Amino acid sequence: MASPLLYFDRDARLLDRLRKGDEEVLAEFYGENRAVITAYVLRNSGSQEDADDMLQEAVVILWERVRSGRYEHTAKTSTFLYAIVKNLWSRRLARKRRELTGDTDPDDLADPGGSPLESLMETEQAGEVQQALSRIGEPCRTLLLLFYWEERSMEEIATRLGFANADTAKAKKYQCKKALERALKEVA
Query: What domains does the chain contain, in order, with CATH numbers?
Result: 7-114 (1.10.1740.10), 115-188 (1.10.10)
Measured CA distances, 160 to 76, 142, 151, 152, 184 (Å): 18, 10, 14, 10, 26
Per residue of the chain (188 residues), give pLDDT as tens.
Answer: 444 444 457 888 999 998 898 888 988 999 999 999 999 999 999 999 999 989 988 888 888 888 888 888 888 899 989 998 998 898 888 888 877 766 544 444 444 445 445 554 555 456 677 778 888 888 888 888 888 777 788 888 999 999 888 888 888 888 888 888 888 888 76
- CA-closest candidate to residue 11, choices 68, 56, 85, 71: 71
At residue 102, the pLDDT reads: 61
